[in-house]
Amino acid sequence: MSTVTGELPTRRKLLLGGALVVASVAGGLYPRWARAQDKVPFMLPKLPYADDALAPVISSTTFGFHYGRHHKAYVDNLNKLVEGTELASQPLEAIVKTTASQPDRRGIYNNAAQDWNHTFYWNSMRPSGGGEPTGTIADRIKDSFGDFGKFRQEFITEGTTQFGSGWVWLVQDKDKRLKVVKTGNADTPMTQGTTCLLTCDVWEHAYYLDYQNRRADYITAWLDKLANWEFATKQLLP
C-alpha cells in the first residue's frame, strides 16, 4: 500500500504520466492522470500517513479493506461509468455537484461522492490528533456551540444515531456558523453549498473489524485521538 509521511498538503504538485498536474482536496481539484493518459481520469490518492499510523484507533487491517478495497472500488467504478461521457474531463467535485440532482446518473453520483468523501476523510485524521483544538477553529466552535464539550457530544450523538450507512460532518454553513450534520450513504453537505471542515465515516466498513457494533466507541476515539484540527482550520472561510 502506498504511504506518505505527514499531512497531505491542501495544494501540491504531482508528476503523473510525465506531466505536471496540480491537485487540491479542498479547492475542488483532484489528483488526476495527465490528459495524455486520459484512459484513467481518476486515481486512488495516496494516504497522508502510513497505513498503521492511526493504530490502535484504526488498525492497518481496517485500512487494508477500507482504503485498498472499498475506496479503490469507488474510483474504479467511477472511471468505468464516466468513460466516453462529457463527465470524464470534469473535476471530481464538479461531477458530484452535477449528478447530485440527476436521478438517472445516481450510480455516477454515488461513486464520485464516495471518492470525494473518502479523500476528505483520510485528511480529516492525523496521528496524535484529536482532543480540544486551539486557535481559530476553537474560537469558531465556542461561538457556534457554546463550548467544545457541547460540540463533542453533538458530534458523537449525530454520528451514532445516523441510521444505516453514512457520515457525520463538521461544516461551516452559508452564514459562516459551524454545525454538525449527518448524511446517509454517499451524500455530502458539499452539494448543499456548505463548507466541509471534518468528516468521520460511519459506514460499518470503517470500524467494524476494530469495534464490531460499538459505533459510539469508534466515533469517540476518532474525535479524541485522530481528528485533524489543522486540516479543519484550513477549510474555514473567513
What digits encode the pLDDT tens for the residues 190-226?
999 899 999 999 999 999 999 999 999 999 999 999 9
Q: What is the mean pLDDT of residues 155-169?
A: 98
110/146 same-domain check:
no
Q: Return the closest-CA partner of residue 218 out of 58, 48, 3.
A: 58
| Domain extent at residue 173 | 136-235
- pLDDT on residue 41: 84
141/231 same-domain check:
yes
Q: Report yes or no on 20 lying in a domain.
A: yes
Check pLDDT > 70 for residue 165: yes
* pLDDT tens digits, 61-106: 999 999 999 999 999 999 999 999 999 999 999 999 999 999 999 9
Sheet of strand 195-201: strand arrangement = 178-184, 166-172, 195-201
Q: Return the closest-CA partner of residue 137 out of 97, 185, 178, 99.
A: 178
Q: Return the closest-CA partner of residue 74 out of 234, 188, 217, 179.
A: 188
φ, ψ at 91 (rounded to 5°): -65, 155
DSSP count for the chain of H helices, then E strands: 9, 5
Are 115 and 74 in contact, with CB atoms under 8 Å apart? yes
155/192 same-domain check:
yes
Check pLDDT > 80 for residue 163: yes
Q: How many domains does the chain have?
A: 2
pLDDT band, residue 157 (cuts 50/70/90) = very high
Are 138 and 230 in contact, with CB atoms under 8 Å apart? no
Letter for the amino acid at 126? R
Percent of the chain with pLDDT over 90: 80
Are 96 and 109 in contact, with CB atoms under 8 Å apart? yes
The residue among 69, 89, 123 that closes a domain is 123
Task: Give the chain's mean pLDDT.
Answer: 86
The residue among 77, 93, 123 that closes a domain is 123
> What single-letter DSSP state applies at residue 166?
E
Check pLDDT > 50 for residue 1: no
Lowest mean pLDDT among 16-20, 47-51, 91-95, 98-102: 16-20
How many C-beta atoms surround the C-beta of residue 183 within 10 A?
A: 21
- Hey, what's the cell of 134? 486551539
User: What predicted TM-score, i.e. pTM, was given to this entire model?
Assistant: 0.84
Q: Report yes or no on 4 lying in a domain.
A: no
Measured CA to CA, the distance from residue 115 to residue 186 in angstroms comes to: 9
- pLDDT on residue 103: 96
106/154 same-domain check:
no
Measured CA to CA, the distance from residue 163 to residue 130 in angstroms comes to: 25
pLDDT band, residue 22 (cuts 50/70/90) = very low
119/45 same-domain check:
yes
- pLDDT on residue 40: 60
* pLDDT tens digits, 118-127: 999 999 999 9
Q: Report yes or no on 43 lying in a domain.
A: yes
